[in-house]
Amino acid sequence: MKELDALLRDKVRMLGNALGNTIRNDLGEDTLAQIETIRKQAKRARTGDENERDKLLDLLKGLADDSLVPVVRGFNQFLNLANLAEQQHGISWRREDVGEESTDTMFPDLIKRLVEAGIEGEDLTSKVAAANVELVLTAHPTEVTRRTLIQKYDELSHLLQQRDDLHDEHPSLASIEERISRLINEIWHTDEIRKVRPTAVDEAKWGFAVIENSLWYAIPEMLRSMNIDLMERGAPALPLDAVPVRFSSWMGGDRDGNPNVTSTVTEEVLYLARWMAADLYLRDIEHLGSQLSMYAGTPEFKAKYPSHEPYRECLHGLRTRLENTREWAQANVDGEVCELKPLLDDAELVEPLQACYDSLVGSGLKSIADGDLLDTLRRCACFGLALVRLDVRQESTRHSAVLAEICDFYGWGDYLEWSEEKKQEFLLKELTSRRPLIPEFWEPSDEVAEVLATTRILAQPIGRGVSCYIISMASEPSDILSVALLLQASGVRHKLPVVPLFETLSDLEQSGPRMEKLWQVPWYREYSECRQQVMIGYSDSSKDAGQLAAVWAQYQAQEILSRVADEQGYSLRLFHGRGGTVGRGGGPAHRAILAQPPGSVRGGLRVTEQGEMIRFKFGLPEIAERNLKIYISAVLEANLLPPQAPVKEWRDTMSELAEVGVGSYRAMVRDNPDFVSYFRAATPEQELGKLSLGSRPARRRSGGGIETLRAIPWIFAWTQIRLMLPAWLGADSALEDQIQRGKLTTLRQMYCEWPFFRTYIDMLEMVLSKADTAIAGYYEALLVEPDMQPLGSLLRQRLGDVTTLVLQVKEQSELLEHNQSLQQSMQVRDPYTDPLHYLQAELLYRERQSADVVSTEVEKALMVTMAGIAAGMRNTG
């Protein structure tokens, strides 16, 4: 195996030494020695020697309660620091593979290939500008790390970059390393476990912080870099208002199953976003005011601003308006009346900045215009005054309940019992009626009042900061028409996009016919202007049918939706509800996009980014710039250099795989009477509720089976014990069935020539590489009653089987044979994650066996093991 990059190894060593010194100074040499002894024994136990593992277990079982927290904290913090070093090293100009990694050259290489394909000049630039990527930041509760610590980790990253930038003998090097040590000391003495759950507003503020600290800088830098690549190929620079990528958010708008997101919360988040946008632009204006001191200007500009320093005069007026906007937003957050006139239209923000730019260019000062002023104009185009547009999401039955109460009040009948045809007839009649729908003297139920309070907010000027209204569990055209009616009745005068979300396997299979019915409704064609966004759910479909059947259903749904949209004359934009793990549709973005059906991203791409993946992919400006380019490059390539469509034999094989896969998955998850009990006994699923991850409850409702559990804790729990079941269960039976039928050659051909199947198999391989049957077996031995343990043995056997089958398809002798970087990454982490797993199992046992109150040390240590394992796995839910 290729050696780990020497510089990366040096960073990990330096951070580890600093952490060790911190632990020694805080708790003494004995505690540090204890942690180091466990680490070394864990490394020896990794050889597979049972005796060495027994020695490790003896060490862990011998820990006194007062030693538990220091030991697990030590391992947890090292894993966080190792992640940090890897992340920062990936953008360091001093790494060994700089310039060799495909992500570094992806965009310029694509531009070269497009030019060779005959797409050049203005045509090339216009296609890049129209890439139409929208990333939706979500608050799904998988970000284990506290915001306080994230800020310290970000500062550490900057210090590591400064350390890279200096030569070994530079006089500032010692000072930087001293600051690194001090920061690690601060981290060690900060509690890594949240004491209270973050509110929905807290989550939104965290999202704003990602923009403030990273994306605000990444966007203009990315566009500068792309301009250079375009102009080197003879194409003009991107227009000033070009926005190949935008951002939206679910934080404060996603109320589906989250009672903590109310109309009041949504309104507050919308005003807070305006406050933050105004504040960020004010910082830019202050800087530009000190920079644009020149007197030269066009006659038109100087006539409008007759000062000796006309640019400063122009910016002064904009500064005043932004200050008013910030004060207005704060007053509304505080529930106060503000008479100041805010900026509400993006054009009001852009106009004075554009005037400055045009005057500078007209005066021969283009190099000045193309400096920080251009960056601000780029930010205006991307973020606007809303900063990040908010999606509102609500479950379809909540809208039906509103209409049912209205119909009951007027004596019109039982809306819920009407046929789909009668519902549509009623809704279309009301949509064209001049009579108010909502009664003036009426006392709706609390739930109905809450839905209407939300739609009324969308009718306010602040409601323009909402990008769309998503309906989960949408099944019929009436679900979409009912939302359109409620928006209209509440006073929403702009045509807010209404987006159905298809989540379960049956919903995905019926998505095409259902949308075809809707698109044939004349009123809706006029309302939508023949433009439609449809959301494809990944996590719930995977939990419902297994990952294999779900990915094929998602693929086919995209195909049929694209075909029906073409037939109906609709411009379709698919919205992918992906997560950070394979079980939720996660994986490398570039390959995932190219694996979509040909033609399915013609209308652009909208995709969710959730939890800890937001921090990993967009937490630092340089990393954000790289990942944004990956998205843009992938969409351009998928549209302009599309892959070949799969042949019939491959499609038939995939359908057979999915049919066997879903049957096998459901036979275990739904039909095995011991499965749910085993899941709750073997994993920390029940204890996860104590980890204050996010504002959303872990369950849709109390009791019940896995159908009541959200997809994220479902996957999180299996990841904690390293069985990784949601990603592979069902695939074992499906692949074995095909191979027994003599189709191994076909599977290998599909892997080599079909991007969709190759991406699926590679993601499956990655998950299997993180699985560990010995660790999963230890949880079982300690936590599961003997009569249910045969089920665990079967699951671990099936895990081994699917590993063998994947290796057969890939023609490899070991997992990750061609992905040594991930192999190395996991090997570095194993001596730290293994003790956390074994300790977690022991702590779960102690907690569940204790008839008395569990000690605070055991309780906290258990929480830290969850955070540490999540850090070690790098993807949680």
Catalytic residue numbers, as ranges: 140, 543
Cβ(560)–Cβ(512) below 8 Å: yes
CB atoms within 10 A of CB 398: 21
- Nearest one of 361, 121, 334, 63 to 240, comparing CA atoms: 361
Three-state SS annotation for 205-263? HHHHHHHHHHHHHHHHHHHHHHHHHHHHCCCCCCCCCCCCEEEEECCCCECCCCCCCCH
3-class SS at 875? coil
Rounded CA separation 189/282 (Å): 35
CA distance 150 to 618: 12
Nearest of 864, 761, 876, 828 to residue 194 by alpha carbon: 864
Q: Is 522 exposed, middle or buried (0-12, 13-18, 19+ CB in 10 A)?
A: exposed
> Which residues, including other chains, have CB under 8 Å from residue 447's CB and lie 6 or more apart?
398, 401
Q: What count of other Cβ atoms lies within 10 Å of the Cβ of residue 500?
A: 26
Pick the closest to residue 253 from 183, 200, 191, 199 (CA basis): 200
CA geometry: angle 240, 246, 252, nearest 5 deg: 140
The full length of the chain comes to 877
Pairwise CA distance, residues 655 & 193, whole Å: 45
Q: Are 161 and 666 in contact (CB under 8 A)?
A: no
Angle at 693 between CA 690 and CA 699, to 5 degrees: 70
DSSP state of 788: G
DSSP, res 371: I
Q: Which tokens belong to 187?
A: 């981290």
- DSSP SS3 for 107: helix
Q: Which of 52, 80, 227, 70 is nearest to 629 (CA)?
A: 227
